[in-house]
Amino acid sequence: MIQQNKININLLIFFFGIIFFIFKWYLSFLNFEENINVRIIFESVSDGYYYFPSFKALTNFDLNNSFDPSVENLGNLTITIGAFVLHFVFYLIFSEWSFVILELLFIIFFLIIFYNISRLLEFGRIQSLAISIILFNLPNFIEILNQGRLEYFSVIVSNFYSFRFPRPLVTNIFFFLFILLILRVDRKRVLTQKNSLIFGIISGFSFTSHLHFFVLEQLFIIFSLLYIFKIQIIKNLKNNI
């Protein structure tokens, strides 16, 4: 019975992910006959399209293009490669369709992460699913209520989660995943090789995609270790180096 409930919840997560994805794209595919490149640009959220030239330069391994014919030889350009890496892999397979496919996957990732966070906070299965759905739509609810201009609400609308590429579409998923893993870690075994490797990978992606999240993650790890091991922290770090 428990296993059946898990299967049902997984199906519901996938179902709601499809619904939210359709809400984003159905008008574009229904009403306009556009090339997929044009469609992606016009359907990009906010100023996310500014990152498309940098992403295209990465796919061509052209990292010193100024995009200005009068300016040459810039040296290597700085690119948020951590936020691009998954799109880069999918781009090699699906070309421009990778942006559409990954939007669906990131919706599902978001719902799965917050479902599991809610479960760790001891909410029931249905309540956890409802929380993840509400959180995903929270920026839309705020805008519908016309509260998006209020100081703190505006931060939620623009930065909590949206389809803007690559932030917060990709970068926030790394941060939310970090929170989930922190909650799942056994305090007595926090410094295992597996945990260190996972946190190192997430930190690496955060460092190369959104530096502020990287700093928050490292501060949280430091304070967590201080809280768990207290004055024994140096000894425990040395034993697990």
pLDDT, tens only, 177-213: 999 999 888 777 788 888 889 999 999 999 999 999 9
C-alpha span between 16 and 8 (Å, rounded): 12
Say if residues 153 and 216 touch (Cβ distance below 8 Å).
no
Structure tokens at 150: 């209020």
pLDDT of residue 117: 96
**pLDDT at residue 67 is higher than 80:** no
What's the average model confidence in pLDDT over 13-42?
91
Mean pLDDT of the chain: 88
Distance CA 34, CA 40 (A): 9
Q: Is 89 a residue whose pLDDT tops 90?
A: yes
pLDDT at 99 over 80: yes
User: In this structure, is residue 217 part of a structural domain?
Assistant: no
- 20: confidence class by pLDDT, cuts 50, 70, 90: very high
**225: its two tokens:** 């270790």
Q: Give the chain's domain count.
A: 1
Unique residue bearing structure tokens 């590429």: 165
Dist. CA 101–CA 120, nearest whole Å: 29
Question: How confident is the model at residue 148, as a pLDDT?
Answer: 75
CA 54-58-62 angle, 5° bins: 95
Q: Give residue 185's pLDDT.
A: 86
Percent of residues, the chain, with pLDDT higher than 70: 93
The tens digit of pLDDT for each residue in 125-149 reads: 999 999 999 999 999 999 888 887 7
- Does residue 69 register a pLDDT over 80? no
Per-residue confidence (pLDDT) for residue 192, from 0 to 100: 85
Please check whether residue 165 lies inside any domain of the structure: yes
Task: Report yes or no on 44 lying in a domain.
Answer: yes
Confidence of residue 72 (pLDDT cuts 50, 70, 90): low
Residue 194: CA atoms inside 13 Å, Cβ hemisphere, count? 6
Residue 231 resides in a domain: no
Residues 80-109, mean pLDDT to the nearest whole number: 94
| Domain presence at residue 65 | yes
pLDDT of 76 > 80? The answer is: no
Domain contains 134: no
The range of the structural domain enclosing residue 62 comes to 2-113+161-184
Residue 230 forms part of a structural domain: no
136 occurs within a structural domain: no
| Residue 205: per-residue pLDDT | 95
Nearest to 17 by CA among 5, 6, 25, 28: 25
Give the per-residue pLDDT at 66. 66
